[in-house]
């Protein structure tokens, strides 16, 4: 019984170690946004990037037939408009092998009203 509990604990810690890290750059600053597998995609909130962009990273492994990594970039506009989706990307899980710029390659998102530009790339870590 003790061996079984130890095995379950090891498997759980390995599962928690898996992450997706997105390197997001805007206005000369880069931050890393990390995601662990989410139990519900609806609970994952976007992260503010500068004063105008928001970036949302959703990492889903279950159910297996819907497993994916989903990336969203929004412009945070004034009410009543609020957040406006500028870019969305979906990747199958597990993603393809990481290259120089992870599994996404270097992505650029433009916002035409304020002439803003955000760059990102994401890597999968086991």
pLDDT for the residue 95: 93
pLDDT for the residue 16: 58
Q: Tell whether the model's pLDDT for residue 61 goes beyond 50.
A: yes
Cα distances (angstroms) measured from residue 111 to each of 77, 102, 105, 118: 11, 24, 20, 8
Comparing CA positions, the residue from 45, 29, 19, 21 lying closest to residue 118 is 29
Q: 82-113 pLDDT, tens per residue?
A: 899 999 999 999 998 889 999 999 999 998 88
Contacts of 30 (CB under 8 A, 6+ apart): 23, 24
- What tokens does 30 get? 């880069």
Would you say 86 and 75 are in contact if contact means Cβ atoms under 8 Å apart?
yes
Which long-range contacts (C-beta less than 8 Å, at least 24 apart) are formed by 42-49? 46/72, 46/74, 46/83, 48/76, 49/24, 49/118
Q: Quote the pTM value.
A: 0.83
Mean pLDDT taken over the chain: 88
């Amino acid at each position: 019984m003790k061996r079984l509990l130890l095995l379950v604990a090891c498997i759980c810690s390995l599962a928690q170690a898996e992450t997706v890290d997105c390197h997001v750059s805007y206005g000369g600053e880069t931050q890393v946004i990390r995601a662990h597998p989410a139990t519900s995609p609806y609970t994952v909130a976007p992260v503010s990037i500068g004063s105008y962009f928001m970036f949302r990273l959703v990492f889903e492994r279950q159910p297996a037939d819907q497993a994916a990594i989903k990336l969203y970039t929004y412009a945070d506009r004034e009410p009543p408009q609020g957040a406006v989706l500028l870019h969305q990307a979906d990747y199958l899980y597990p993603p393809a092998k990481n290259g120089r710029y992870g599994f996404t390659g270097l992505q650029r998102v433009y916002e035409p009203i304020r002439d803003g530009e955000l760059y990102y790339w994401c890597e999968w870590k086991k």
